[in-house]
Chain A
Amino acid sequence: MNLTTDLGGLRLRNPVIAASGTFGYGEDYIKAGDISWFGAVSIKGTTIAPRAGNPPPRTCETPSGLLNSIGLENPGAKVVIEEKLPWLAQFDVPIIANISAESCEEFSELAAMFARSPHVSALEVNVSCPNVKAGGIAFGTNPDMCYESTKAVRQVWQGPLIVKLTPNVADITSIAKAAVEAGADALSLINTLVGMAIDVNTMRPVLGNITGGLSGPAIKPVALRCVWEVSRAVQVPVIGMGGISSAQDALEFLMAGATAVAVGTGLLVDPEIPRRVTQGIREYCEARGIETLQEIVGAARR
C-alpha cells in the first residue's frame, strides 16, 4: 500500500503531519515519540522578533475540546533558523515553517529569512492565529488582505507555499480562492475557532487572555465541512485538520477532499498518534484493496 502524497510539490512519505504549535520544534517531542512517524512536521508559529506569549492560564479543557491562548510564544526567526532547524533536519522529515506577522512587509522579510535556510521544505503562512492582537487572524478574515499577505510571501519564496486558513469567517471559500490566486500551492485548514470559558467560582474568564482558540474533537465537524467546501472550490491540495484523534477521523478528512491531514490536539493527548493513524489508514486501505491514497482522497464527493 502506497501512502505517499503530494502537496503542491512537497512529497510526503505518509499523509500525517504534526500541526503547528503542538510539536514545538521537536526537541521535547522526541523524548516521547518518533519524528519519523510523521509525513512532515509544521513547527510552532514563528515571528521575526521573539514573543513571550500570553499570561497564564493559557489552556482550558472543554467538552471534547481544548481552549488555548498561547499567543505565539516563540524565540524569533533567527534562533529558530540557526538553532532549531539544523537539529530538526537530521530526522529527514520535511519541515514546514509556520510563519506569522503583523504586516505584509514583515511577512515578506520573514519568508526571505526562511528562504535562506537549507532546511525548510515548505512555508505555511499563518493568517489565522486568534491569539495575537495585531495581524494574525485579521489577514485571514478578509480576502484582499489574505491575497496581499500571500503575495508578499510568494514574491520571495519559490518553494511550496501553504496558506493556513481560519474557520472564523462567513465564507471560507472566498478566502481560499484569494490565497490560491496570490500563488498558494496548498491550503491548511482549519486553525482554531475563537472561544472562551468562565469560572463560576471566581466569576472571571478562565483564560488569562480572556478568549482563546478551540481545538480538538469538538471542532471536527466544522473542520470537515470547511475541507469539503474548500477542496471543491479550489484546485490546490488541502491539508485537513481539526480534532483528528484516530485513523477513522483522518479517513473522513481524506474522503472529504484533503490530500493530507495534520494532528494537533491529538498529539497533546497521545504522542504516538501519528503512528496509530498511519497504521490505521494502511489497514483500512489494505482490507479494501485500495492501493494508493489518491483513491480515497475526495471519495465522498464522487
Chain B
Amino acid sequence: MSLQQIYDVEARIISVSNVRGKVYKMAIDAPEIAGTAKPMQFVNVALGDSTDPLLRRPFSLSGIYPDRGIIEITWAVVGRGTEIMAGWQAGQSVKVLGPLGNGLDIANLCLDHGLILVAGGTGLAPLFPPASQALARKAEVNVFYGARSADDLLDTGDLVTGCRLHLATEDGSTGFEGLVTDLLEAHLGVQGTGDNGKPTVISCGPKPMLKQVKHICNRHGFPLLVSLEERMACGYGVCQGCAVPSAGRKSGYYRVCTDGPVFWADDIDLGECTR
C-alpha cells in the first residue's frame, strides 16, 4: 500500500489548446500534484458543479513539471465530458483529484537494453513523462506510435528529442501504412534481438493493440508493462468499480485505479478487458 497523499485541488487552468482534430491539451497550475506525481499516474477531473455529468473523468498526466508546479493532460473528445472540457478556457478553475494510480517507478526498470514504448491514439499521452525520464537516464528509447490517420496523432513534438519515433497510420496518411503492431514486428524482424538483451516494453492504447503487443513481447521474451483504462467511478480505490481480471497467481480482479493503471502484462487477463 502506497502512502502517497491524494490532493483535491481547485486549480487554475493555464492554457487549453486544440492539438488537432478532436485532440486537446490543457496545462493546470497544481503544485501539490506536480510536485509528487510519478510518470503514468492520472488525475480525476471534475466537470463542474452540476450533477449531470456526475462523475469526474480520469486522464493520464501527459506532462509533469514539478519546478513550475504544472501538470498537463491531453485528451480526445469522445463524449459529453470531454466535449465540455474542450470548451474550457485559460484562467478558469477546475477541481482535480490526484495524483492517482500506481504510476511507474522508472528506477526499478531495467533500461540497459533500451526502452520500447508502443502507443495507439491518445495512449501516447501517458508515455511522455516516462520517455523523458528514461532519456535522462541515458536509455535508448524507441517509440512506436500509431493512429487511424494523421489527424488523430498527438503532438509528437512533445516527445523529448532523443527518442526514436516510428509512426504508423492505418490510412497511410503519415508514416508506415498499417497497424503500429505490424510496424513493431517489422522492426524487430529486421533488427532481431539476438544476444543483445531484452528491452523493456511499455504500452498504452486500445485493448486489441495491447493484446497484440503482448503477443509480440511474449514471442520475443520482452518484459511488458501495460497501462489500462477501465470505466471508473471514484478513481481513488473506494468503489471497486474499475475491475480488471487477474491472471497468474492472484485470482479475481485488480482495481485499475489503485493496483494499476500500470500492470505487468502477465498479471492481467486482457481477454476480458472491456476497453
Contacts and interface: CB of A to CB of B under 8 A. Distances in A.
A53 B254 CA distance: 11
B231 A57 contact: yes
Contacts of A53: 240, 243, 252-253
B132 interface: no
B54 A217 contact: yes
A112 to B, nearest CB: 26
A28 B274 contact: no
Chain A interface mostly: loop
Interface residues of A, number: 39
Interface string A211-227: 00000110000000000
Contacts of A68: 233, 239, 241
Interface stretch (A1-9, A158-166, A267-275, A294-302): A267-275
A81 B94 CA distance: 40
Interface string A44-57: 10000010111111
B272 interface: yes
A68 B55 CA distance: 13
Interface in A62-95: 63-66, 68, 70, 73
Given A270-B8, A272-B8, A61 B240 contact: no
Contacts of B258: 28
B24 interface: no
B237 interface: yes
Contacts of A267: 234, 238
A21 interface: yes
Interface in A243-284: 245, 265, 267-272
A27 interface: yes
A203 interface: no
A61 B53 contact: yes
Residue of B8, B52, B234, B273 with most partner-chain A CB within 10 A: B234
A100 to B, nearest CB: 14
B136 interface: no
Contacts of B108: none
Contact of A64 (B52, B230, B243, B245): B52
A168 interface: no
Nearest to B258: A28
Contact of A59 (B97, B232, B273): B232
B236 interface: yes
A60 B240 CA distance: 13
Contacts of B53: 61
A29 B258 CA distance: 11
A195 interface: no
A65 to B, nearest CB: 7
B235 to A, nearest CB: 8
Interface string B68-98: 0000000000000000000000000000010
Given A24-B237, A55-B243, A268-B233, 14 more contacts: A27-B1, A29-B238, A31-B5, A44-B240, A56-B231, A58-B243, A59-B231, A60-B231, A73-B253, A245-B51, A265-B54, A267-B234, A268-B234, A271-B236
Interface of A: 21-24, 27-29, 31-32, 44, 50, 52-61, 63-66, 68, 70, 73, 208, 216-217, 245, 265, 267-272
